[in-house]
């Protein structure tokens, strides 16, 4: 599970200001800690979506006391981007490796597009990365 740390700072009007040290563009707030964390998850997702769309750097998450989880689809897209950048491949390189059209590759990195699993498999394979999926039992 991909999670990013967030910092909750009590504000002077009984709200909590939320920031993310790894993603400086993330700034939101909430009326209480629970609401602030919920808003933080949405803000982190939006920040990642913007970076994916621009194919710009997405930092690995750092440690932190309060973490917010990224949805599985976004996590897959982030991990695909990390794999592409780690392999030194641009979207155009991936397009050539897959034999796909540009819009098909662009959708791999569109957080609002519901990419199919077989498309992820093909993209990771083209990057020389083995895709593994597992399930972990939650603590009771």
The CATH number of 3-69 is: 3.30.160.250
More confident residue, 6 or 135: 6
Domain ranges, ordered by start, for the chain: 3-69, 72-126
Mean pLDDT of the chain: 94
Q: Are strands 27-30 and 66-69 parallel, antiparallel or unpaired?
A: unpaired
pLDDT digits (tens, 9 = 90+) for 17-28: 999 999 999 999
pLDDT digits (tens, 9 = 90+) for 67-122: 999 999 999 999 999 999 999 999 999 999 999 999 999 999 999 999 999 999 99
CATH architecture observed for domain 72-126? Orthogonal Bundle (1.10)
What is this structure's pTM? 0.91
């Amino acid at each position: 599970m991909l999670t990013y740390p967030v910092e909750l700072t009590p504000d002077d009007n009984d709200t909590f200001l939320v920031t993310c040290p790894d993603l400086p563009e993330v700034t939101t707030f909430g009326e209480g800690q629970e609401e602030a964390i919920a808003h933080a998850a949405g803000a982190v997702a939006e920040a990642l979506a913007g970076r994916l769309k621009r194919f710009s750097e997405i930092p690995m998450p750092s440690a932190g006391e309060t973490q917010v989880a990224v949805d599985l689809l976004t996590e897959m897209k982030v991990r695909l981007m990390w794999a592409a950048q780690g392999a030194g491949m641009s979207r155009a390189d991936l397009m050539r490796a897959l034999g796909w059209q540009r819009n098909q590759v662009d959708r791999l990195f569109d957080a609002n597009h519901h990419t199919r699993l077989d498309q992820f498999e093909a993209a990771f394979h083209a990057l020389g990365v083995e895709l593994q999926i597992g399930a972990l039992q939650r603590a009771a």
